[in-house]
C-alpha cells in the first residue's frame, strides 16, 4: 500500500493515515523545543465473523493495546491495516490488508518505521508467524507485540518460542469454538427442535414465537421463529410426494407443475432468487423437495459439513479453503419430537427415499473434486435462448461455456432451446479485449478521461453519504445497548460497548469534518498520468491471468449474450450512467450498433 493508495475491491476497509510534518505533531501544533522525533508505526489487526464481535469495537481495543505499548516510548501510529471478515486460519498472503502490509514492507519509501500488533492471537494462527516474521527481518522492519514488551528480537529464542506458542493457542482456541458450537447446535436440535435460521424450505413460512432467550440478543431485537405450513405451497409439496410415490418421475412432475402454471420455488420468492431461472420447474428442485426430511415435521441439522482442504497441494503456505460436503444420513441430527407442521408422514418420506434409491438416483458416493479451471468470462456470459448464465466446461484443454436447459428444466412452457449450447472462450476473448480497449484508443482517450474525471465528485458524495449512514448505525447501536441495560445485562460489559461506539462515532464525525472537498478530486491530467504509468494496456490485458480478467470484467459490468442461431455475441458494459454496446461475432468485430 503506497502513499495514499487503497486496495481495490475491498469495501470494508478500516485504514487511517496521519502524516505529521517534522515541525508539527498530529494535531497541527508545533513540537516543543528539544522534543525527540517520534517513531512511526503501522498498526495491524484483524477480526472475523467467527469472533462474534463488532469490527469497530474489536479494532478499538486492539488499537488501544498497541498504543499503550508504543506511546510511552515515543511511538505514534501513522497507518492502519485492519482485516475484517477474514478468519485467522487464512494466511497473510490471502488477507487483503495483511498482504498490503507485506507489500509496503518492500517499499523503501514507506510511511512507517516499525509495525505494532495489538493482539497476536488475532494476527497469527498455527505456523503463520514462522512464515511471516522472516519478511520483517529481511526488510529490517521491527515487529512490536505487547506480549514481549516491545520489538521481537530475532536472536532471542524466548521471543520465538512465545510467538510460536501464541500461534498454537490461536489454532486451539478456534478448534474449541468449533467444537462448542457444534455441540450446542446438536443439543438444541435434538432436545428443543429450535429453528436454527436460514431460508425456510419451500412449502413453509416463518412465524414469530417471541423474544430470543438470550437477554443480549433479545435486547438487540432478535426473535425466535418456527416453521408453519404455507397455505398454498404446502399443498404443492404434498402433491409432489404423492405423485412420486405413485410412480411418476422427477422430470414428469416438473413438466406437470410448469404446465399447470404453478410458480417454481425461485419464482415464488424472486427477490432472493434473482440468480435462478424462474420460468419453469427443474427436476433438481423436485428432487430437493422429496429428499428434505424437515417436511416430516422434525428439525434436522448436520446434513452438511465444512471441510478445510488445501488450496494448493504444491504450496502448503497458501493455507486451506472451506468446502461444503454432504454428510451420511447416519450423521444427521433429528429432533426427538415433531416441532413444526409436518407435510408428509415419516413413513411416506422413508418410502420416497427407498424409491429414489431403487431408481439409481439416490445419494452418490463423494467423488474427488477436479482441479479448479480458470474461466475468464465467469458469470458474464448468458444464453440467448433462456437468458440463463452459461456454465464453464473444460474440454480438450480449453475453456468452453455451455447451457443445458432442456436437461434441467421442464419444457412445458414451449421454450425453443437446443439440447446443448456451446461456445469456446478462445473464439471471442481477443475481440472482447480489443473492443474494451477502444475506450483508451487515440480517438477516444480524451472523452474517456473526461468521463472518468466527471465521476470523481460522485465518489466523494458517496463517501460522505456512507459516513452519515455509519453515524445512524452508531445511534441505533447506542439505543440497543441502553435497552440491554434495561433488560438486565451486565452493566460493566454494556458500558464498555457504549464507550467503544461513542469513540467510533466521534471518529466518524471527525472524518465528516475533514472530508476532501470536490476541488481535491482527481483531475483530467491526474488520470492521464496514471494511465501513462500503467503503460501498454493491450499487452497487460492480453497477458493477464484468467482469474484477474474475470474480476476485471465483473467490476466493469461486462455482460454478454450468446445467440447461436446468429453466431453472434452481444457485449455490453454499463458504467452507470453511460452504456456502451457493440456486437462481436465469432469471426471478428462487427460494426457498432447505431
Got the DSSP string for 205-224? Answer: EEEEEEE-SSHHHHHTT-EE
Contact 549, 559 (CB under 8 A): no
Question: In the chain, what percentage of residues exceed pLDDT 90?
Answer: 20
pLDDT given at position 126: 87
CA-wise closest residue to 391 among 380, 279, 277: 380
pLDDT given at position 140: 93
Lowest mean pLDDT among 134-138, 207-211, 252-256, 489-493: 489-493
Contact 82, 61 (CB under 8 A): no
CA-wise closest residue to 118 among 38, 41, 49, 174: 41
Question: In the chain, what percentage of residues exceed pLDDT 70?
Answer: 74
Question: Distance between CA atoms of 271 and 275, rounded to whole angstroms?
Answer: 10
Burial tier of 159 (Cβ tally within 10 Å: 0-12, 13-18, 19+): buried
Give tens-digit pLDDT for 58-70. 888 899 999 999 9
For the segment 110-114, the average pLDDT, to the nearest whole number, is 92
pLDDT given at position 575: 54
pLDDT given at position 255: 86
Instruction: Please indicate whether residue 483 or residue 80 has the higher confidence score (pLDDT).
Output: 80
Is the Cα dihedral 185, 190, 192, 197 positive or negative? positive
* Confidence tier at 351 by pLDDT (50, 70, 90): very high
- CB 288: neighbour CB atoms within 10 A? 13
Instruction: Please indicate whether residue 583 or residue 137 has the higher confidence score (pLDDT).
Output: 137
Lowest mean pLDDT among 70-79, 85-94, 273-282, 438-447: 438-447
* Confidence tier at 158 by pLDDT (50, 70, 90): confident
For the segment 575-593, the average pLDDT, to the nearest whole number, is 41
For the segment 261-278, the average pLDDT, to the nearest whole number, is 75
Instruction: Please indicate whether residue 98 or residue 27 has the higher confidence score (pLDDT).
Output: 98
* Confidence tier at 166 by pLDDT (50, 70, 90): confident
Q: What is the CA radius of gyration of the chain?
A: 29
- Dump the DSSP string for 345-410: -HHHHHHHHHHHHHTT-SPPPP-PPPPPPP-TTTTTEEETTT-PBPEEEEETTEEEEEE-HHHHB-
For the segment 187-204, the average pLDDT, to the nearest whole number, is 86
The torsion angle over the Cα atoms of residues 339, 340, 342 and 346, rounded to 10 degrees, is: -20
pTM exceeding 0.75: no
Contact 53, 94 (CB under 8 A): no
Q: Is the pLDDT of residue 453 over 80?
A: no
pLDDT given at position 295: 95
Lowest mean pLDDT among 253-257, 354-358, 371-375, 557-561: 371-375
Burial tier of 43 (Cβ tally within 10 Å: 0-12, 13-18, 19+): buried
pLDDT given at position 275: 59
Instruction: Please indicate whether residue 204 or residue 393 has the higher confidence score (pLDDT).
Output: 204
C-alpha angle 498/181/330, rounded to 5°? 160
Contact 412, 255 (CB under 8 A): yes
Residue with cell string 405423485: 243
pLDDT given at position 16: 37
Q: Is the pLDDT of residue 133 over 70?
A: yes
* Confidence tier at 577 by pLDDT (50, 70, 90): very low
User: Which one-letter DSSP state was computed for residue 171?
Assistant: H
Question: Average pLDDT of the chain?
Answer: 77
What is the pairing mode between strands 39-47 and 75-84? parallel
pLDDT given at position 244: 93
Q: Is the pLDDT of residue 579 over 80?
A: no
Question: Distance between CA atoms of 245 and 69, rounded to whole angstroms?
Answer: 70
Burial tier of 160 (Cβ tally within 10 Å: 0-12, 13-18, 19+): middle
Instruction: Please indicate whether residue 508 or residue 491 has the higher confidence score (pLDDT).
Output: 508
pLDDT given at position 5: 39
Q: Which residues pair with 384 in a beta bridge?
A: none
* Confidence tier at 8 by pLDDT (50, 70, 90): very low
pLDDT given at position 49: 67
Give tens-digit pLDDT for 221-254. 788 888 999 999 999 999 999 999 998 888 889 8
Q: Is the pLDDT of residue 40 over 80?
A: yes
Amino acid at each position: 500500500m503506497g502513499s495514499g493508495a487503497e486496495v481495490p475491491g475491498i469495501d470494508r476497509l478500516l485504514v487511517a493515515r496521519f502524516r505529521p510534518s517534522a515541525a508539527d505533531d498530529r494535531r497541527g501544533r508545533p513540537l516543543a523545543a528539544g522534543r525527540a522525533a517520534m517513531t512511526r508505526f503501522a498498526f495491524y489487526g484483524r477480526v472475523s465473523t467467527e469472533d462474534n464481535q463488532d469490527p469497530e469495537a474489536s479494532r478499538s481495543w486492539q488499537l488501544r493495546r498497541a498504543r499503550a505499548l508504543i506511546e510511552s516510548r515515543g511511538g505514534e501510529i501513522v497507518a492502519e491495516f485492519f482485516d475484517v471478515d477474514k478468519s485467522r486460519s487464512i494466511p497473510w498472503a490471502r488477507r487483503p490488508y495483511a498482504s498490503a502490509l507485506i507489500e509496503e514492507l518492500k517499499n523503501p519509501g514507506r510511511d512507517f518505521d516499525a509495525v505494532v500488533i495489538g493482539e497476536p492471537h488475532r494476527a497469527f494462527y498455527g505456523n503463520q508467524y514462522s512464515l511471516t516474521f522472516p519478511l520483517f527481518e529481511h526488510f529490517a522492519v521491527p515487529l512490536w507485540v505487547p506480549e514481549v514488551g516491545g520489538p521481537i528480537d530475532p536472536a532471542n529464542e524466548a521471543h520465538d518460542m512465545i510467538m510460536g506458542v501464541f500461534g498454537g493457542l490461536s489454532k486451539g482456541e478456534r478448534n474449541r469454538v468449533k467444537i462448542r458450537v457444534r455441540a450446542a447446535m446438536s443439543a438444541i436440535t435434538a432436545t428443543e427442535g429450535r429453528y436454527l435460521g436460514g431460508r425456510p424450505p419451500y412449502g413453509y413460512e416463518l412465524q414469530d414465537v417471541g423474544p430470543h432467550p438470550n437477554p443480549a440478543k433479545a435486547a438487540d431485537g432478535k426473535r425466535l421463529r418456527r416453521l408453519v405450513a404455507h397455505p398454498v405451497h404446502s399443498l404443492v409439496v404434498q402433491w409432489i410426494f404423492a405423485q412420486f410415490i405413485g410412480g411418476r418421475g422427477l422430470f414428469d412432475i416438473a413438466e406437470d407443475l410448469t404446465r399447470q402454471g404453478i410458480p417454481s420455488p425461485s419464482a415464488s420468492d424472486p427477490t432472493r432468487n434473482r440468480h435462478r431461472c424462474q420460468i419453469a420447474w427443474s427436476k433438481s428442485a423436485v428432487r430437493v423437495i422429496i429428499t428434505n426430511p424437515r417436511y416430516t415435521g422434525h428439525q434436522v441439522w448436520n446434513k452438511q459439513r465444512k471441510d478445510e482442504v488445501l488450496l494448493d497441494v504444491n504450496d502448503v503456505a497458501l493455507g486451506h479453503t472451506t468446502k461444503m460436503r454432504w454428510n451420511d444420513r447416519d450423521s444427521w441430527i433429528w429432533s426427538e419430537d415433531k416441532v413444526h407442521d409436518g407435510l408428509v408422514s415419516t413413513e411416506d418420506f422413508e418410502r420416497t427415499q427407498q424409491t429414489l434409491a431403487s431408481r439409481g438416483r439416490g445419494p452418490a458416493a463423494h467423488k474427488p473434486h477436479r482441479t479448479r479451471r480458470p474461466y475468464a468470462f465467469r458469470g458474464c456470459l448468458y444464453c440467448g435462448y433462456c437468458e440463463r448464465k452459461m456454465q464453464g466446461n473444460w474440454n480438450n484443454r480449453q475453456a468452453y461455456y455451455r447451457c443445458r436447459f432442456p436437461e434441467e428444466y421442464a419444457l412445458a412452457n414451449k421454450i425453443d432451446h437446443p439440447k446443448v449450447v456451446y461456445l469456446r472462450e478462445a473464439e471471442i476473448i481477443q475481440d472482447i479485449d480489443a473492443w474494451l480497449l477502444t475506450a483508451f484508443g487515440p480517438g477516444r482517450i480524451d472523452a474517456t478521461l473526461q468521463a472518468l474525471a466527471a465521476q470523481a465528485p460522485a465518489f466523494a458524495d458517496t463517501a460522505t453519504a456512507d459516513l452519515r449512514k455509519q453515524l445512524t448505525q452508531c445511534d441505533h447501536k447506542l439505543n440497543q445497548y441502553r435497552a440491554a441495560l434495561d433488560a438486565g445485562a451486565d452493566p460493566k460489559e454494556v458500558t464498555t460497548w457504549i464507550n467503544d461506539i461513542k469513540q467510533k462515532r466521534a471518529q466518524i464525525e471527525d472524518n465528516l469534518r475533514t472530508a476532501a472537498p470536490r476541488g481535491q478530486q482527481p483531475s483530467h491530467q491526474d488520470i492521464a498520468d496514471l494511465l501513462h504509468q500503467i503503460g501498454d494496456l493491450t499487452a497487460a490485458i492480453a497477458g493477464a491471468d484468467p482469474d484477474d480478467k474475470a474480476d476485471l470484467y465483473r467490476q466493469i459490468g461486462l455482460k454478454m449474450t450468446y445467440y447461436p442461431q446468429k453466431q453472434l455475441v452481444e457485449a455490453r458494459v454499463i458504467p452507470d450512467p453511460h452504456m456502451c454496446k457493440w456486437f462481436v461475432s465469432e469471426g471478428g468485430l462487427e460494426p457498432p450498433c447505431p
